[in-house]
Amino acid sequence: MCGGYTFIPGEGFLNRFEIAGHPYETLPRNFNVRPGAVMPVVIREDDKNYLMPMKWGLVPPWADDPDIGYRMINARAETIAEKASYRGPFRRSRCIVPASGFYEWKALAGGKTPYYFRSAPDDMLALAGLYEIAYTKDQSKLMTYTIITRDADETAKPIHDRMPVILDKKAESIWLDEEVKEAQLQQLLARDSGVELEVYEVSKKVNHAANNWPELINPV
């Protein structure tokens, strides 16, 4: 699964994702993004990319309780075309979750140990996601997202059996294209991105959602 990531945008972030517009005065920095956080997500509208704030944890329009989102932070690539909560967004509302890196936890005798994954050249990662628009009981608009996961590759497998789907630059455009057929999307989710990752152990302080500072991503 993917239970935490970082968002540390540099000066070239907007160009990196070809962002045509966004509502932020200043882009947020977050060294410990956890479920329920409101974070920037890339969507495509009218052939242009926009950055939108959304809450992590997908809430289907039919859900009575918005807290269902905490159980829907990840969607398995193998079943998103079948699951009722994900098949609609898979066809019509795909997104990219920009991340500087992500955390995975290795189960050891002394408890779960966190590891940090980031691109070896230290570039931003494009994680494949889905988003949904729902409305609360008071008719407030609620935009939420989920991160798609797949079987771990050789780099991640010693740490965890699942990892987020990472898109390469070409795949980003295909993933956001509303006209792309389902079969081609499934191929994108199944293949390795070719993005080289480095991984290292980090402090267990990242296990506490309230902790959020740059030192969290330092190796231990």
To the query of whether residue 104 is one of the catalytic residues in this protein, the response is yes
Over the chain, what is the mean pLDDT? 94
The answer to which of 89-93, 138-142, 213-217 has the lowest mean pLDDT is: 138-142
CATH of 4-217, one of 3.30.70.2740, 3.30.420.40, 3.90.930.12, 3.90.1680.10: 3.90.1680.10
pTM of the model: 0.96
List, in order, residues 6 or more apart from 73 with CB less than 8 Å away: 1, 2, 3, 35, 56, 57, 58, 146, 147
Q: What is the pLDDT of residues 64-114, one digit of tens each?
A: 888 999 999 999 999 999 999 999 999 999 999 999 999 999 988 878 999
Taking residues 114-123, report their average pLDDT: 92
98 to each of 166, 172, 207, how far by Cα in Å?
Answer: 10, 11, 21
Residues 184-205 have pLDDT tens digits of: 999 999 888 888 999 999 999 9
Q: Find the catalytic residue in 11, 18, 104, 215.
A: 104
What 3-state class would DSSP assign to 83? coil
Residue 2 known to be catalytic: yes
Task: Please give the full DSSP string across 166-203, using - where no structure is assigned.
Answer: EE-HHHHHHHH-TT--HHHHHHHHHS-----EEEEEB-
The pLDDT score that the predictor gives to residue 108 is: 86
**Tokens 């070409």 belong to residue:** 170
